[in-house]
Structure 1
């Protein structure tokens, strides 16, 4: 897995990208919600940079999955914890969590993979209360 600077826009975007691909497919509804919420801008990226990070993440996941299609979009718990640890700024954590929740809810279905990413982020970052607030309140535009 490539590394990014702690609290960088790229490290934050990679967590959102994990939520995006965790259900093993990239849906139009998920991409639309990221565009509507200006996710790249909120993370400090140009739209094309978010695309590049999603692409890089998929490459990394394929390499670490040993080319097993069944596990292509899965990430082991230790690696997920390491990636989540790259974000330690409280405000950035909250923004990333809000974007992840929006992505996961975009298709009105929460897959096991999406749940794993969200639960890991909430637990590791100590945002249990914020998770409920994020689910109840719409994101600011």
Structure 2
């Protein structure tokens, strides 16, 4: 059975000697990892301890190794009543990622296409014949 915690439960664990964080609706006891965190203890304490740190975690673009390492510290799930705010954030975050993707305009497609047609026409279909 999975343990269920509220944000209020998590907020009580906000020191380097007893630190829980919420990431993507999962609750982690990262106390043992605090001294090894490459970003320093201070960052964990100020930005993550006893909080939902999903946004801060994603802003850093943590590696896959960091995400895999994190799994060993999972102790439960966030209560569904506290997940509502997370769902709103995640949809906004996903929309931002979609908006940040480069957009293909007509010019970015047509210019290289026309250049390729001209080169093919000039050098393949009608090459210059040099007479020596």
When the two structures are superposed, what TM-score results if normalisation uses the length of structure 2?
0.29
Q: Which has the higher contact order (CA 8 A, sep 6+)?
A: 1
User: Which has the higher Rg, Structure 1 or Structure 2?
Assistant: 2
More strand by share: 2
When the two structures are superposed, what TM-score results if normalisation uses the length of structure 1?
0.28
More helix by share: 1
